[in-house]
Amino acid sequence: MAKRAATGKALVVVESPTKVKTIKKYLPPQYVVKASLGHVRDLPPSKLGVDVEKNFKPQYVILRSKSKVLQELKKAAEKVERVYVATDPDREGEAIGWHLAQELPVKKDQVYRVLFNEITEKAIKAAFASPGRIDLKKVDAQQARRVLDRLVGYKLSPLLWQKVQRGLSAGRVQSVAVRFVAEREREIKAFVPEEYWSLTARLAATAPPEFLAPLKEKDGEKVSLASESDVQAVIRDLADAPFVVKAVTKGERRRNPAPPFITSTLQQEAGRKLRFSAAKTMMVAQQLYEGVEIGDEGPAGLITYMRTDSPRVAAEAQAEARELIAARFGQEHLPAEPPVYRARKSAQEAHECIRPASPSRLPNAVASALTRDQLALYRLVWERFMASQMRPALYDTVSVDVAAGLYLFRAQGSTLRFPGFMAVYVEAQEEAATPGEEVEETIPETTVGERLACRGLDPKQHFTQPPPRYSEASLVKELEERGIGRPSTYAQILTTIQQRGYVKREKGVLFPSELGLLVTDLLVASFPEIMEVEFTAQMEEFLDEIEDGDRKWVETVKEFYDRFARSLKRAQKEMDDLKGGKPTDQTCPECGSPLIERWGRFGRFLACTGYPECKYSRNLENGQGREVVETDEVCDQCGKKMVIKEGRYGKFLACQGYPECKNTKPLTIGIPCPADGGGLVERRSKRGKTYFTCANYPNCKFLLWYRPVAEPCPKCGAPFLVQKGGGRGRGPVLACGREGCHYRKSAEGAGVG
């Protein structure tokens, strides 16, 4: 090792080159700033790398991609007296620093740890003025997580290769996330909608405007309208009833601002408002945190650290925000004291929320220096933080009870009196209001005893809705609420389950693939501890306790592994072997041998046990996990039966003799084309939208965007009706598609046109 010159120089190691540029300008020239580009050591990629027999001792190796980086860091370390680890302020950053300390040629007592939540001149100088040491408890917590995940991944994956399909993998946390998506999908499939109705009165007082009052009670009891006949009975009861104001209640409602962002809420809100994926949100946030070139100023960090579960705000940031609010919006928008937001029990209170590094740096002032995505996210962070420091919005509310015979209608309205935080920002909503919920509107001045004119009674049919599929935003929310994962892992969880093909994302929603459903079922049956939500959440708490010094990492890993090893041994014998074949009660239609269920590249299929003499097989999947349907139609090329399959553009008929016979035909839905009499065929566009066209396309260009129903129009005699509607809160409607005919009826009701 070369002798170090007593230059007083110091090496500062950060994670990214962008950080290097930003931090460098705040430090004296004797500080050499270099990037490690993340971890330089990790468990080996091609073997377990954990000695289970020796207290789970990990075997760390230099990452091949980082050997050159490490050599450069070593050369730099030979020329300095001290090393400052300035990696991210979390477990992963602490572990990166610890690994560096093991490899760099510098005395261990000359390795210091500097922590800062924002990359600003003040924060950097304060961190270097009082450096600390690497926190070995944080390192232990990261090491425990890494070892646990390696044990699960390297022990479970070969089992799935053996039982299902080569190349599959499983993860301690990711598999639980897939389970959430799979179980939600099954809830949706099993959901049976129930019909219900609402009745709303359109009323007019002496003063305008007209207003709406939904029916609430009958004879003091809550009204439940299950069918159209129930509604019609109420309408008959109200035929001659006077509508009289029974009570008027006025009040005030406060709407409080949302807390400043933490990692999970930033990912949720960026998903809802900006349509960012969780991974994209974190990527852009990292850019804003590490530093962006701002004109002549050079690189500047714009937001605080983006991996945090604490809504705590530094007093200096609150003071700066309050000064800005008073100047821009007026003193009346400031609460008497800066608000305090409470964190979850497991939150790391040492961290801060995600906020602008300098609240006085307005989004418009840096717009020219930012990309479109950077500006959108910075504006979101800035507005949310400023709103969190402002007074609540105030509404004047009014509720009017209207009696009509035995029935009570209630109108509710509100008027914004003082916008408060809403002058800056309003939080997005995950879901639209449920049908039948109160719709607040402007209600005229009324007095008790005043008789109102009823302008009409509006019945509406509704259907209960299944739970919505998860979006990335709502899945992050679910993970956080159930204690699965931590701020640094949410985006990686979502990315991993999609990359592995277990979960798909289309049009903003997540749904499980057939493979995801299959692997989930196998793991739930064979590894209940790993797939148990409460158990996984408890492991997260144990990792937090290791970081706090209340648990030992080796003991924690051992407790987990002992249970896991027993389940693994049992699964080797008992888990269904879909690769080798699962027995069924079906026989081969060609040779009479038993059929077995197997799993291949394209999903589940039935195969003849007489293979290779008999090559009969049949897909069990049509893209949605349903069994392929045999038909009575015969292939005109080889004489075998045709089956219904589903491809990228919809359902079609395919020969059962595939792949020897590749004959296919359009699948008609049994309704003739009104243009040339050919059968109508269901198809799907590239964007996934279903439409119907003539089987004689392209000779016949007839096209229909609504589903046809084989029921003639009783009004004009058209050969079929089309199904419309069926959106949130509205039952499907059957309507005539012929131009000029306006006949329509509810799918289960009487005609209304």
135-136-137-139 Cα dihedral, nearest 10 degrees: 100
Spell out where 520-613 has E strands.
Answer: 582-587, 594-600, 603-608
Cα–Cα–Cα angle for 659, 661, 666, nearest 5°? 105
Q: What does the block give as tokens for 29?
A: 């020239």
DSSP characters over 285-325: HHHHHH-EEEGGGEEE--B--S--------HHHHHHHHHHH
Distance set, CA 466 to CA 306, 405, 476 (Å)? 34, 36, 20
Q: 385: how many CB neighbours lie within 10 A of its CB?
A: 26
Report the C-alpha gap between 346 and 564 in whole angstroms.
Answer: 25
Q: In the block, which residue shows the tokens 């080569």?
A: 166
- Which of these is catalytic: 196, 305, 407, 425? 305
Q: Name, in order, each residue with C-beta under 8 angstroms of 364's C-beta and a sequence gap of 6 or more.
A: none
Alpha helices in 164-249 (DSSP H): 174-190, 228-237
- Counting Cβ atoms within 10 Å, is residue 512 exposed (0-12), middle (13-18) or buried (19+)? buried
Report the C-alpha gap between 555 and 607 in whole angstroms.
Answer: 47
Query: Is 611 annotated as catalytic?
Result: no
Beta bridge partners of 454: 203
Backbone torsions φ then ψ of 310, nearest 5 degrees: -115, 130
Estimate the crossing angle of helix 315-329 against helix 372-388, to 10 degrees. 90
Report the C-alpha gap between 245 and 238 in whole angstroms.
Answer: 15
Report the C-alpha gap between 603 and 583 in whole angstroms.
Answer: 17
641-647/629-634 β-pairing: antiparallel
Report which residue type is found at 507.
Answer: K
Element (H, E) at 17: helix 17-24
Strand arrangement of the beta sheet that strand 603-608 belongs to: 582-587, 594-600, 603-608, 617-619
Q: In this structure, are residues 346 and 483 in contact, taking their beta carbons and an 8 Å threshold?
A: yes
Report the C-alpha gap between 339 and 390 in whole angstroms.
Answer: 8
For residue 400, which of 414, 390, 410 has the smallest C-alpha distance? Answer: 410
Estimate the crossing angle of helix 136-163 against helix 533-548, to 10 degrees. 150
Beta bridge partners of 187: none
Estimate the crossing angle of helix 278-290 against helix 17-24, to 10 degrees. 30
For residue 66, which of 19, 113, 34 has the smallest C-alpha distance? Answer: 34
Report the C-alpha gap between 302 and 121 in whole angstroms.
Answer: 12
Q: What does the block give as tokens for 435?
A: 């049908």
Report the C-alpha gap between 643 and 625 in whole angstroms.
Answer: 15
**Range 66-71, long-range pairs (CB < 8 A, 24+ positions):** 66/36, 66/37, 66/38, 66/39, 66/40, 69/35, 69/36, 69/37, 69/40, 70/36, 70/40, 70/103
744-746/582-587 β-pairing: unpaired
Which residues are the active-site residues?
305
